Amino acid sequence: MKATRKTFILRRFGLLVWAWATLILCVVLVLLVNQMLREGRNPLSEIKGATDMLPEDAANIQNASESLGTREIVLFFAGDTGRVLDSETAVIEYSPRTVENCRKALQLLVAGPKQKHLFPLMPEDAQVRGVYLQSNGELVVDFSTETLLALHRPRSAEMEALMAFGVVNTLMQPDLQSEDSQQVKQVRFLFDGSAAQEIFPVHLDLSDPLVQDMRWVQAGYK
């Protein structure tokens, strides 16, 4: 009788431990999925990409990246009047993935212009946490909190618009589209994984993604 009761207690204890372990695992999984969604990443795509890619596929991508060479792209900065966007050309190592080309273009944009008559759109200490291209064509650019704090300085509506559309117009140019045929249809801004806060921008709504708007570009650009 005592042995039977002891076995019963052990089974109940084992089931309790299993239930708690399952609950903790589910909570961790929910938190992980939530974080990925905040960063603009598709959890299902991440899993599919990880399971579908074989070692030889990864090698092929690496080889393709080395063999695609360079390509000239356009970067948009503030013009000398501070009221329109002006352009300068740059060269990037061309990747077989569109999102990688967008990441390289954004890094050059953050680094600032080389021509003296152009002015940077991003603060010097701006940091890019991530760039993600979703299957629906939405490109998510996630800046650090330091970037948000640096942008939280008195700015006119025009300067906020130039910053936003300088990024959007740069990242939506056709020259960044690569062999994966993924097209950037809109750009969403995040700061530290979250939507834009009230401290920036003050005049522009960045809660929704933006599309290319060439009306902000200086007349004469083709």
Q: What is the pLDDT of residues 131-179, one digit of tens each?
A: 999 999 999 999 887 765 555 554 667 888 898 999 999 999 999 999 8
DSSP the chain: -HHHHHHHHHHHHHHHHHHHHHHHHHHHHHHHHHHHHHTT--HHHHHHHHHH--HHHHHHHHHHHHHS-EEEEEEEEE-TTSSSEEEEEEEEE--SSHHHHHHHHHHHHHH--SSTT-B-SS-TT--EEEEEE-TTSEEEEEE-HHHHHHH-S---HHHHHHHHHHHHHHHT-GGG--TT-----EEEEEETTEE--TTS-SSS--SS-B---GGGBPTT--
142 against 49, higher pLDDT? 142
Confidence of residue 63 (pLDDT cuts 50, 70, 90): very low
Query: CA 39 to CA 14: how far, in whole Å?
Result: 38
Confidence of residue 39 (pLDDT cuts 50, 70, 90): low
> What pLDDT score was predicted for residue 52?
41
Average pLDDT (183-191) is: 93
pTM: 0.66
> What pLDDT score was predicted for residue 12?
77
> What pLDDT score was predicted for residue 17?
74
CA distances from 206 to 77, 80, 131, 191, 199 (A): 19, 25, 16, 11, 12
Q: 93, 216, 89, 221: which is closest to 159 by C-alpha? A: 216
**Is pLDDT at 56 greater than 50 in this prediction?**
no
**Is pLDDT at 40 greater than 60 in this prediction?**
no
Give the residue extent of every domain in the chain.
Answer: 2-38, 44-216
Average pLDDT (55-80) is: 68
**Is pLDDT at 220 greater than 60 in this prediction?**
no
